Structure 1
Amino acid sequence: MADRGIYGGDDLDRRQEPGRRLYSPYQDLPIPYRTLYDLPTSPEFLFQEESVVQRRSWGENLTYYTGIGYLTGAVAGASLGLHRALRAAEPGDTLKIRVNRILNSSGQEGRRIGNRIGVLGLLYAGMESGMVAARDTDDWINNVAAGLGTGALFKAANGPRSAAVAGAIGGLMVGAAVAGKQVLKRYVPI
């Protein structure tokens, strides 16, 4: 029978007997392990100008808003598809048919709603980054203007009235989100 300590037995096998020390083959090597494993937690920047700016770049913004929008829409659409499939179930359906109906409905609704909200995130990120570049400042006006423009551009094909209503809804939603964020910063200690 082989020694269990060689092959990594449990902690009871690794008890240190009095008067003995554990052997470490690396104890005499001058390895700078502290510099290898104690990494800094703050971000490192290539250029000094990047460290002054306290926001994501336009590419990071684009990826973030599009990805979050698609993921949120896909989950919401899948749950809506699940609800519709369960409502459409007929008494004579087999389990296979019910599962198939649920998967088809969830996938279809998830893709449809995910794509729509992902496009909204893409438009919003592009407009917000454009506003920051044009105005050379980062404040709430950029966010609200990007929300207005996103809603108007998303519904522009349906006519000017529909675009104006969608723009107003987009601006109000983003304005409420910005105001809610400020309230949370002020009154909720995080």
Structure 2
Amino acid sequence: MAANHSSDDENTRLYNPYQKFDVPVSPQLLYKLPVSPEFLFTEESLKKRRSWGENLTFYTGTGYLGGSVAGATAGVFSGVRSFEFGDTAKLKINRILNSSGQKGRAWGNRIGVVGLIYAGIESGVVAFTDRDDIWTSVVAGLGTGAIFRAARGVRSAAVAGALGGIAAGAVVAGKQVFKRYAHI
């Protein structure tokens, strides 16, 4: 067993299920686990990104959740600011709950729609160009901002598109920097 390395030994690692118990274990009881992730189908191993449906669900869901939490937090502060002299504790709680629920719903819906538009445009650009890089995200951000503010006029759509493109590029660039320098 000294110099007998096969290709199977390079693709596996030994796992000791009893390592927490400080029990001496013979090598026959160790398991050989694969080093690379396991996939049921080979097509899954070739895929490097989420599908358009997964993308749509992810961006819309996280946008709605994040917007709801941010809106509810803003609603709490708005509810506290609306207190009047002589309000009972029950009335104060009612004002906070009403304000946080109203703002949470509104912000969640708005940011969820932004995530929906972004996911649709990004998936369309990836399907059209067959590449996924920082420019895909910038184009998707640009289009999202323009579509989201299109009802307010051309100037508003252009400004929102530019801000959306800059924001999407900054997020993707920040993600790349974080992956490179923060080893988590």
What range describes the TM-score normalised by the shorter chain of this pair? Answer: 0.7 to 0.9
Q: Per-residue deviation at 1:149?
A: 0.2
Alignment partner, residue 170 of structure 1: 164
CA separation in 1, counterparts of 2:50 and 2:180?
Answer: 22
Residue equivalent to 1:42: 37
Name the counterpart of 1:112.
106
**1:185 aligns with one of 159, 179, 182:** 179
Per-residue displacement from partner, 1:84-116 (whole Å, max 9, x unpaired)?
110110121111111111111000000000000
Cα shift readout 1:39-66 (whole Å, capped 9, x = no counterpart) = x9935243x3332111111101100000
Larger Rg: 1 or 2?
A: 1
Q: How far apart are 1:121 and its partner, in Å?
A: 0.3
* Equivalent-residue separation in structure 2 for 1:169 and 1:91 (angstroms): 42
Runs of 4+ in 1 over 6 A off after TM superposition: none
Return the alpha-carbon distance in structure 2 between the equivalents of residues 79 and 154 of structure 1: 24
Superposition RMSD in Å: 1.8
Match of 1:58 among 39, 52, 55: 52
Which of 129, 137, 145 is residue 139 of structure 2 equivalent to? 145
Query: CA shift at 1:73, angstroms?
Result: 0.4
Instruction: Provide, for residues 99-156 of structure 1, a one-character-per-residue CA deviation record: whole Å limited to 9, x for no partner.
Output: 1111110000000000000000000001000010000111111111000000000000
Q: Distance in 1 between matches of 2:183 and 2:91?
A: 51
Tell me the residue number matched to 1:82: 76
Whole-angstrom CA distance in 1 between matches of 2:123 and 2:45: 18
Query: Aligned AA for 2:181?
Result: Y
Equivalents in 2 of 1:106, 1:149: separation in Å?
31
The runs of 5 or more residues in structure 2 that have no matched partner are: 1-32
SS at match of 1:189: coil
Counterpart of 1:125 in structure 2 is 119
When residues 91 and 110 of structure 1 are mapped into structure 2, their CA distance, relative to the original with a 3 A threshold, is: same
Unaligned runs of 5+ in 1: 1-37
Q: Measured at CA, do residues 43 and 90 of structure 1 come closer, stay the same or move farther in structure 2, by a change above 3 Å?
A: farther
Using the aligned pairs only, state the percent identity: 62
1:20-35 aligned within 5 A: none
| Structure 1 residues 91 and 41: CA distance shift in structure 2, 3 A | farther
Equivalents in 1 of 2:101, 2:65: separation in Å?
13
Normalization by structure 2: what TM-score?
A: 0.78
